[in-house]
């Protein structure tokens, strides 16, 4: 379902060229749960950006849903991304001026879902993640663990096939981190493909497969 073929990504800053991904080949099947690990700067976030169609490779191919999307324009990538890929990050990236409900609903507004259905789906998703009673709160009124649950609700409310998580437990204490990990396992058991970057060996071990990166390449 997601396949990189000798994918290379470089960043040019002045005279310095950094090869963030160096001819990476990788296949992730629908329904898999994969952890990506490796030292800081090895290319984990770059890999996630490319898998999530936020960025395009400089060389090689990226097959997403049976199409090679390498080299496509940003407008085409965002079209492909919509409704197919959800993201969660270490910093929850919630909008403070909106309530919990509104934060989740915004994802559906972007997708053009009518208001009545939006409200139904937001309520269902907040219920599923155990935060329905916090719907009217602002993000800062919640604990970190609750904020990450709101971010997960926002990522999943469009029912994406793939969830990409960049250190989703990085800002959480271990109890809240474990809670988020349990939620991810449940989501994966329901069929969502998950690719998660993590620094925690314990959390990586909870994924079905671990991919190690070093200097932009997959460690064998
Ligand atoms: P990780 O997520 O494993 O810490 P990254 O994917 O963020 O690694 O970065 C891989 C390499 O690419 C690093 O050397 C980083 O400095 C470089 N890099 C990442 N993004 C950019 C960018 N936008 N501009 C220049 N260099 C970048």
Q: What Cα–Cα distance (Å) separates residue 200 from each residue in 38, 111, 206?
A: 10, 34, 10
Q: From 75, 162, 154, select the one nearest 109 (Cα to Cα).
A: 154
Minimal-distance CA residue to ligand 1 atom 12: 20
Q: Taking the mean position of all CA atoms in its chain, how far away is CA 57?
A: 18
Distance 119 CA to ligand 1 centre (A): 38
Q: Which atom of ligand 1 is nearest to the CA of 39?
A: 3
pLDDT value, residue 205? 95
Helix (H, G, I), strand (E, B) or coil at 217: strand
pLDDT value, residue 160? 94
What number of residues does the chain have? 220
Q: Taking the mean position of all CA atoms in its chain, how far away is CA 218?
A: 20
Q: Taking the mean position of all CA atoms in its chain, how far away is CA 146?
A: 17
Write phi, then psi, for 213 (nearest 5 degrees): -115, 145
Return averaged pLDDT per consecutive 10 residues of the chain, 220 residues in all.
97 94 97 97 96 95 94 89 91 96 94 94 94 96 94 94 95 92 95 96 95 94
* Model pTM score: 0.94
Q: From 178, 163, 218, select the one nearest 37 (Cα to Cα).
A: 218
Q: Which of 46, 54, 168 to mutate to test the pocket of ligand 1 (most atoms within 8 A of CB)?
A: 46
Distance 96 CA to ligand 1 centre (A): 28
pLDDT value, residue 82? 84
Separation CA 117–CA 133 (nearest Å): 20
Q: Is ligand 1 within 6 A of the CB of residue 41?
A: yes
pLDDT value, residue 17? 94
> Cα dihedral angle (167, 171, 176, 180), rounded to 10 degrees?
-20
């Amino acid at each position: 379902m997601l396949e990189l073929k000798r994918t290379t990504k470089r960043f040019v800053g002045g005279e310095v060229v950094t090869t963030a991904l160096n001819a990476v080949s990788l296949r992730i099947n629908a329904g898999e749960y994969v952890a990506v690990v490796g030292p800081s700067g090895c290319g984990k976030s770059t890999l996630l950006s490319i898998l999530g169609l936020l960025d395009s490779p400089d060389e090689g191919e990226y097959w997403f849903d049976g199409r090679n999307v390498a080299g496509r324009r940003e407008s085409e990538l965002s079209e492909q991304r919509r409704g197919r890929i959800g993201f969660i990050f270490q910093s929850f990236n919630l909008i403070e001026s909106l309530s919990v409900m509104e934060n989740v609903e915004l994802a559906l507004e972007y997708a053009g879902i009518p208001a009545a259905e939006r409200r139904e789906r937001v309520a269902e998703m907040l219920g599923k993640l155990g935060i329905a009673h916090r719907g009217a709160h602002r993000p800062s009124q919640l604990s970190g663990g609750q904020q990450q649950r709101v971010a997960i609700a926002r990522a999943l409310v469009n029912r994406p096939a793939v969830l990409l998580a960049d250190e989703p437990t990085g800002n959480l204490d271990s109890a809240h981190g474990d809670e988020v990990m349990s939620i991810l396992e449940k989501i994966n058991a329901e069929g969502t493909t998950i690719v998660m970057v993590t620094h925690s060996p314990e959390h990586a071990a909870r994924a079905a497969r671990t991919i190690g990166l070093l200097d932009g390449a997959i460690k064998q």
